[in-house]
Structure 1
């Protein structure tokens, strides 16, 4: 299928060409920081609106539900409905971004948000509000998915950490500002909670205007087919699952025919979705993406992160308002430690990732912090000191900031440009799915727990209090604390404090699973090229051969695999094959060039999704074939082309690195100045270096395969380690050196005790084994190095042999002089 590209001049200035159309910028030219920030300004504003819509109602929800006449189920569904719509439509937005203008899609998403927000503010019942929240969630799903996709289209993965930090900061500001704004609006009598939905509309309108002026990306126009069946099936499967989670244990038992029916329906719908996706020409979620280990693990980790993240933000408002009797405004203020931690970690981690290119340590550390934060929050009660809660929230916020954006980043780093939208939306989809499941399930848990704690607490107050029943909490209702007597009010506050703590405690295992999954994600070096640069480079490669073919009178169809022609006026001899990586997998979008022995370029091709390439040699003879791809070392090979087409596969070695640290076995102290040597299996030295102050060493641009790492340091025994360097990314090795002692002495003989040359000295260990032998020099000195601590026997011969005991304590130098004498001396 032929493709046509309409550049919009995002990277260059405009020049007049006849009709006044803008001149396209040079393909592959990186955007400056200023250009990126101008393009991101409207995008970040739109992202701010999306997050604001979710957080602005959190502190107003108790009053909203009370005003519209709903219970705990309605409370959670106002949040879940938006999350559900966002979850179900995220893959669709991602796929549309691979097919249509990303700028147009963002504007459509913003428009949906504006209309739905205005309608939600006019709601007269909880059911109506939930319906409009669904529409609002569709728009928010587009904004959250497209923000990551557009950033990836403009910015290389290596630089994206810096800008992901800005995205994380926007997320933090909207998250902390939303509850504050919502609380102030709710507490202001002449505004009311309805303005919580109206307040985001002006921001969305401004974002639309800014995006129109600043966001310009290449637009690929081609015939497309949307997988509407797949979109419907995945939406239905997710919806049915959430309905079961929400109502199980409340409307019906966990073990009941309703449960069996809903679970069976979810499984059937999921199976139909997988079947549909495997056959669709343009699937919503390309199943081949999950052949990539990183994408699969990142998606699974995002699912668990979503449970922890949304559980931690949604239920804080109930805790502070119903367990601690705080106003909506103060509820927002008291969550600042969590948002501050998220803001700090997302910004700092983004800057450091951009500088170092390493991201896995942040994911793992984030998993530890989220798990610890939720576990600690599971211990709180209604009367826990606030500074304890603030510290726990800060720990959780730091962890979320480290994980949320970086899971998307590591996924985007592993896909080709045409799959960027689908892959990004897959990770976002699973995070939203986890959030929706978490809010639904944990909301039901909270309702049941609170009702149970209230019943137990009232029973302890006596028969009269027990007669009050559920004190307004029965059936999942939200109580009005101001109408309750003092003792009964304390019981309800304690119940909500304990119930919300249980929610956090139940969320901690999900965070622990996310941490365990991240341990198995392989760190791959971040690419240094943006997706749109790769696309434009591909398109220019497609266009040039087409022009050559027109001059030569040869019709050539441009496609993703055949992208080169022979010299003008010749039909050529095809040279074709597959570009493969170190592990045998296909390398898509690799650039393949055919040059003559004199160095003249004869043809270029870009490998397709299957790694296949085809180009033409003008005639029989010897040529040089060069292949290169981002993340791999270039490869050149001489090929002999005969009269028949030549099949030649190209193997690319990944750009790999080796890092590690040298430490002593005692006290785990770093060893500075250790000599580190990397040698291949033939013994050829590949790299040498010394460890730094922290014992760290690093080597870049090493070929993958088996190597030997030898480490030597003064006062330690030499160490040799076999290491397998991976095809891509950085391999890490830890070298632990054992202390080695040196025994040295002088052999003397005769009455004058002169040094004895050529005397033989034997060192024997406690088991009677010969450890080493030495011969003295002209000065009578001998020595043994790299000895373990222990008992030894030193035996010298030359005169009648003499044996002496020696105790080696550890590192350092032990002196042991020996005197040899004749019997008559």
Structure 2
């Protein structure tokens, strides 16, 4: 379909599905579930040192990458399965299962006695966490028509912003004043609130499309193994193993075979978890790679803004996290303003193009910062980066939901988030490798040979280097981070091209719906 063509978004009936009181109660529970998902993406990193010191002082740091990545692996791999289960069995039952699994994993993490147990229980937590945000979005899309979803996206922006700010702060506070175990126990009351609100308030419309309930277990196993393999390549490549090592090459070949086997199987499965028809849809066909690039650039770059603040500006981890507050403001502003514009113009594409263009320019401007850039300058850029974090990712998801038929709302939502999360996992690893290699290439004369073997050792040399060498090292690191930002800007420019190719989905009036 050409970019100028128009697709009409299906719109829900004007009849309320639930009373105002029930809707309000469930919305509170839904916001608690979304906050759980957002908090758990960054709360553990701030408590990494207390965790490893308590459970395994000698070897804990070597196991830390697994602790941080196993949740992402489990949550990413299960997203497509949650979408298909939602379409087959209804989102309410699957939603409750995801929340209870997440709570069980959280309780077990808090009780862990060694790093091996904590990593295993973190995987259980990720199995439930993979459905928290996606299923909440599916249910909200079922309850609210597209115009109301667009207009209310400012609330979602507030939650994203809250997760950005509160996650690192809460993780640091609980670890310092109570125990690192409370970063997991805090999930239990919020999860219980969500379960109670869902059981007593949520009433969904009867399912119009009844079909045989066959769960595509082979497809689920193949996509889980393929996603895990791809993320492990991104995590291990260039760090644990060289890119040309037998381990990475073998893992790459195996992952590609799994992807091919999954694609073949999905054309034959009775109820595929990622139906081939999704990729024949002109909206999803553009949205999938666009979300991958958005996750790769915007979500991953946030991590390197923090490292820039710590290394090039000398801030502590907690202070660097606090400096992200302007980005949270940008997320709130863009989600609120984008929702209003979409509701007023009844179109998604112009808003997506505007937000994508702002993101490209912002990332390019980030490529000019150095160790002397003022706090005000950085604050303005972080506000604009929030436009990318909230404006691009959210509007693409809304476009997919607005164009998806009701019987595929689940797989369309989770499929879109799957590509975004996969892109984020790749972006953090690949851009991190680029940062490390560039930093090592820019190391000035005078750095000891023992510190030239790894970026971590070179950064550690900053603490003991004389003032003149420290200034050169700081400048080298800031220049390396600039390379990361400029690379991300180039990739986001490709995403802007995809945004131009996105079909112009409209929120049509009732008579347009009937005509369609």
Q: Distance in 1 between matches of 2:59 and 2:378?
A: 29
| Corresponding position of 2:7 | none
Q: Distance in 1 between matches of 2:49 and 2:368?
A: 24
- Structure having the higher strand fraction is 1
Matches within 5 A, 1:696-715: none
Matches within 5 A, 1:535-614: none
Q: Distance in 2 between matches of 1:478 and 1:217?
A: 57
Structure 1 residue 521 corresponds to structure 2 residue 499: no
User: What SS is found at the alignment partner of 1:413?
Assistant: helix
Contact residue 299 and residue 389 of structure 2 kept, 8 A: no
| Corresponding position of 1:601 | none
Matches within 5 A, 1:410-429: 410-429=399-418
C-alpha displacement of 1:490? 5.5
| Corresponding position of 2:205 | 218
| Corresponding position of 1:484 | 464
Moved over 6 A (4+): 69-73, 477-483
Q: Deviations over 1:135-177 (max 9, x none)?
A: 3222221011101111111111122102333222212222222
Structure 1 residue 55 corresponds to structure 2 residue 42: yes
Q: Deviations over 1:173-203 (max 9, x none)?
A: 22222122223335x3x33544333333322
Structure 1 residue 30 corresponds to structure 2 residue 16: yes
Contact residue 145 and residue 424 of structure 1 kept, 8 A: yes
Unaligned runs of 5+ in 2: 1-12
Structure 1 residue 351 corresponds to structure 2 residue 340: yes
| Corresponding position of 1:789 | none
Q: Distance in 2 between matches of 1:499 and 1:196?
A: 33
Contact residue 158 and residue 332 of structure 2 kept, 8 A: yes
Q: 1:204 aligns with which of 191, 213, 234?
A: 191
Contact residue 165 and residue 328 of structure 2 kept, 8 A: yes
C-alpha displacement of 1:336? 0.6
Q: 2:395 aligns with which of 406, 410, 422?
A: 406
Structure 1 residue 466 corresponds to structure 2 residue 431: no
Q: 1:312 to 1:120 in 2, by over 3 A?
A: farther
Contact residue 451 and residue 470 of structure 1 kept, 8 A: no
Q: 1:131 to 1:319 in 2, by over 3 A?
A: farther
Q: Distance in 2 between matches of 1:479 and 1:362?
A: 41
Q: Distance in 1 between matches of 2:28 and 2:178?
A: 30
Contact residue 277 and residue 283 of structure 1 kept, 8 A: yes
Equivalent residue pairs, number: 498
Q: Distance in 2 between matches of 1:211 and 1:496?
A: 48
Contact residue 138 and residue 410 of structure 2 kept, 8 A: yes
Q: Deviations over 1:535-580 (max 9, x none)?
A: xxxxxxxxxxxxxxxxxxxxxxxxxxxxxxxxxxxxxxxxxxxxxx
| Corresponding position of 1:706 | none
Q: Deviations over 1:651-703 (max 9, x none)?
A: xxx5xxxxxxxxxxxxxxxxxxxxxxxxxxxxxxxxxxxxxxxxxxxxxxxxx
Contact residue 59 and residue 317 of structure 1 kept, 8 A: no
| Corresponding position of 2:426 | 437
Q: 1:290 to 1:508 in 2, by over 3 A?
A: same
Contact residue 322 and residue 496 of structure 1 kept, 8 A: yes
| Corresponding position of 1:376 | 365
C-alpha displacement of 1:423? 1.0
Q: 1:259 to 1:58 in 2, by over 3 A?
A: closer
Structure 1 residue 250 corresponds to structure 2 residue 250: no
Contact residue 231 and residue 422 of structure 2 kept, 8 A: no
C-alpha displacement of 1:520? 0.7
C-alpha displacement of 1:38? 3.4
Q: 1:343 to 1:126 in 2, by over 3 A?
A: farther
C-alpha displacement of 1:334? 0.4
Structure 1 residue 333 corresponds to structure 2 residue 322: yes
Q: Distance in 2 between matches of 1:498 and 1:116?
A: 41
C-alpha displacement of 1:276? 0.9
| Corresponding position of 1:622 | none
Q: Distance in 1 between matches of 2:423 and 2:317?
A: 26
User: What SS is found at the alignment partner of 2:434?
Assistant: helix
Q: Distance in 2 between matches of 1:124 and 1:498?
A: 42
| Corresponding position of 2:121 | 132
Matches within 5 A, 1:41-440: 41-61=28-48, 77-121=66-110, 128-186=117-175, 188=176, 190-218=177-205, 220=207, 223-440=212-429
User: What SS is found at the alignment partner of 2:270?
Assistant: coil
- Root-mean-square deviation (CA, aligned residues, Å) is 3.1
- Structure having the higher helix fraction is 2
C-alpha displacement of 1:496? 4.6
Q: Distance in 2 between matches of 1:283 and 1:413?
A: 21
C-alpha displacement of 1:394? 1.3
Matches within 5 A, 1:707-786: none
Q: Distance in 2 between matches of 1:254 and 1:478?
A: 21
User: What SS is found at the alignment partner of 2:272?
Assistant: coil
Q: Deviations over 1:582-635 (max 9, x none)?
A: xxxxxxxxxxxxxxxxxxxxxxxxxxxxxxxxxxxxxxxxxxxxxxx96352xx
Larger Rg: 1
Contact residue 366 and residue 400 of structure 1 kept, 8 A: no
Which range moves more in the overlay, 212-221 or 201-210? 212-221
TM-score, length-normalised on structure 1? 0.56
TM-score, length-normalised on structure 2? 0.86
Q: 1:510 to 1:422 in 2, by over 3 A?
A: same
Q: 1:419 to 1:252 in 2, by over 3 A?
A: same
User: What SS is found at the alignment partner of 1:216?
Assistant: coil
Q: Distance in 1 between matches of 2:340 and 2:366?
A: 29
Contact residue 99 and residue 195 of structure 2 kept, 8 A: yes
User: What SS is found at the alignment partner of 1:524?
Assistant: strand
Contact residue 234 and residue 425 of structure 2 kept, 8 A: no
Contact residue 223 and residue 262 of structure 2 kept, 8 A: yes
Q: Deviations over 1:696-727 (max 9, x none)?
A: xxxxxxxxxxxxxxxxxxxxxxxxxxxxxxxx
| Corresponding position of 1:533 | none
| Corresponding position of 2:491 | 510
C-alpha displacement of 1:122? 5.0
Q: 1:299 to 1:632 in 2, by over 3 A?
A: farther
